[in-house]
Amino acid sequence: MTRLFLFIATNIAVIALISITFQILGIEGLLAANGVDLNLYALLVMSAVIGFGGSFISLAISKWMAKRSMGVQIIENPAHPQERWLVDTVAKQAENAGIGMPEVGIFQSNTVNAFATGMSRNNALVAVSTGLLQAMTADEAEAVLGHEVSHVANGDMITMGLMQGVVNTFVIFLSRIIGFFVDRVILKNERGFGIGYFISSILAQIVLSFFASMIVMWFSRRREFRADEGGADLAGKHKMIAALKKLQGDQAEDLPGEFAAFGINGGRPTGLRALFMSHPPLEERIAALQRSA
């Protein structure tokens, strides 16, 4: 809860700073001088409701979506020793990490991957692919599970949800401001919402979303190093390094949608695309672990 309160307080301060900046720059006065009756504070609140609302709804239904869209089969009564090992390993790691027992599941995929999702540290899901179970040794799979349990223990799901909510808020807010500015100040439209507002706000939202995604993915890549460290703590550093080296030989792509940020494998970032990858290069992750004490 401390993480949540601090994060929200920080972003309220950022929103307040933007409001003060708008006043200092005279943007409110400029809009008013051109007949724009716009309440910036109301627009900020509306943008925050839309931005955070979508993010939190997505987070709240993430487990349900994983089961529906990826066909994750939850292990309720282990049917064979491998399933029993999966459940027992996650239970042990969850206890060591100080979190509630996540649901454990398997999804059909030839790629070597796994992910964690859920609304909170004590209401999470950890799932592994059939390809991972076939390709990895028990030690390597244990490290992957430790990585995913660390995502849960670090509160990465809620933190990423809040981060996405913040950038969504600013994208919506600033794109509307640009739309009003173009429509009323540049095109001198004096009534209602003109075509300039709709076109410019849509274009601004596309461009701002482009840069916002870069920010969110940069933050996601930082979290992966922490999850690797957590996996090393829970399973052993040599096991975590071995698991990452095994992933180097797999050609996995990102998991679909929001699950990509919480997978163990994030594909192969190259060129400009690297700025939009949820995971850093495996070589960097291995080197970071090798440097750690």
> Exactly one of 103, 142, 148, 229 is catalytic; which is it?
148
CA end-to-end distance (rounded Å), the chain: 30
Give DSSP secondary structure letters for 216-274: HHHHHHHHHHHHHHHHHHHH-HHHHHHHHHHHHT--PPPPSGGGGGGBS------GGGG
C-alpha distances out from residue 171 to 29, 57, 184, 193, 285, Å: 22, 18, 20, 19, 31
Tokens of 183: 């429509």
The reply to whether 283 belongs to the active site is no
- Report the C-alpha gap between 202 and 184 in whole angstroms: 16
C-alpha distances out from residue 60 to 3, 84, 118, Å: 18, 28, 7
Beta-strand pair 103-107/123-129: parallel
| Contact by Cβ (8 Å): 95, 228 | no
| Contact by Cβ (8 Å): 119, 55 | no
- Where on the phi/psi map is residue 225: left (φ > 0), alpha (ψ -120 to 50), or beta? alpha
Residue 275 DSSP one-character state: G
Active site residues: 148
